[in-house]
A and B are shown apart, each in its own frame.
Chain A
């Protein structure tokens, strides 16, 4: 499944990174500790995190996750959005919490 298809299925909002919407999704990863994510998230993962500052873009870039989902409608810094657009990293926003998102992901991928 592509990030674009996931957006539709989750009824999520695209905040940034339109360029990366055709990326293929492979499983998911949930964590807010960036060192932990750096060493455990895998290429193609959907990364769910409540962190919304700009450094998440570098982590996403280095781990090659397919996209970032910010749960619970948490507001995302404009700097993060600008940077994610530059790098083509999709950032999605959802009203669901991380648990609810994980349950949906399980059904979908």
Chain B
């Protein structure tokens, strides 16, 4: 119980229909981390990784849910969707690999840097994905 007092939990529905809202969840988390006085470098890492995760749910999975748990030591970001899933995670993790269509690339997305960036900027990353069911990405940041 004493421990739970120190946990801040946030939940966001990431809308898959409205592309213009992509980034809202990560922007909001960033504002909250700033208010909490988390160090700027950690905030930057969380913001970049979470933004990429959010964008992935929007462009590849028609939206999903983002959950963020903040403790004084750690920030945990959980991204879950019921999209098409990822068949070959190792391949998807490769820098430059992307299945994004041309119209998405024209907007400056689909560089295939999202998952690699999420790995680079987090301290721990776990992906579970089932084709036809969805994807779950967990990111842990030690602060």
Contact = CB atoms under 8 A, between A and B. Distances in A.
Contacts of B120: 39
Grouping DSSP codes into helix (H, G, I), strand (E, B) and loop, the B interface class, with mixed when no group exceeds half, is helix
B51 interface: yes
Nearest to A53: B107
B117 A62 contact: no
Given A58-B24, A61-B27, A62-B51, A33 B111 contact: yes
Q: How large is the interface on A (under 10, 10 to 19, 20 to 34, 35 or more residues)?
A: 20 to 34
B121 to A, nearest CB: 8
Interface residues of B, number: 22
A55 B117 contact: no
Contacts, number: 62
B107 A62 contact: no
Contacts of A58: 22-24, 26-27, 51
Contact of B113 (A39, A51, A79): A39
A23 interface: no
B48 A55 contact: no
A17 to B, nearest CB: 15
A22 B117 CA distance: 32
Interface of A: 32-39, 49, 51, 53-55, 57-59, 61-62, 79, 83
Interface of B: 19-20, 22-24, 26-27, 30, 47-48, 51-52, 55, 107-109, 111, 113-114, 117, 120-121
